[in-house]
Amino acid sequence: MDESIWNAVRASRSWLDAANGTGQAELTCRILKLTEEAGEAAGAWIGVLGQNPRKGVTHTREDVAAELADVVFTALVAIESLGLDARSVVAECAAKVRARTS
């Protein structure tokens, strides 16, 4: 990932820490935020499919991708908020995936 992504993740965590604190309730909210963002991605996909007949097609694949990117970014901020290095955690996950798919 581009270095600016990791910088943005750390800056977002710092901003949230300063605004909301770092207690267990705040950490819980940051983790639960993933569910909210995933729901928005699901809603966008429903909009691509036009599944809701009242609304019809309301989203594009680009909208879905943007929502999925929100999920990824939110997860990275949550990892950093746990006091871990998100880059290292993601690298470990990628290594496990590569080992399974090799």
**Which contacts of 8-13 are long-range, i.e. CB under 8 A and separated by 24 or more positions?**
8/73, 9/73, 9/76, 9/77, 9/80, 9/86, 10/80, 12/73, 12/77, 13/77, 13/80, 13/81
Q: In the predicted model, what is the mean pLDDT of residues 28-45?
A: 98
pLDDT at 90: 97
- Work out how many domains the chain is built from and give that number: 1
Whose CA is closest to 83, among 2, 38, 26, 32?
26
Average of per-residue pLDDT across 82-99? 97
CATH number at residue 20: 1.10.287
Q: Which domain holds residue 53?
A: 3-101
Given a contact cutoff of 8 angstroms between Cβ atoms, the answer to whether 41 and 72 are in contact is no
CB 90 within 8 A of CB 97: no
Average pLDDT for residues 73-100, to the nearest whole number?
97
pLDDT surpasses 80 at 94: yes
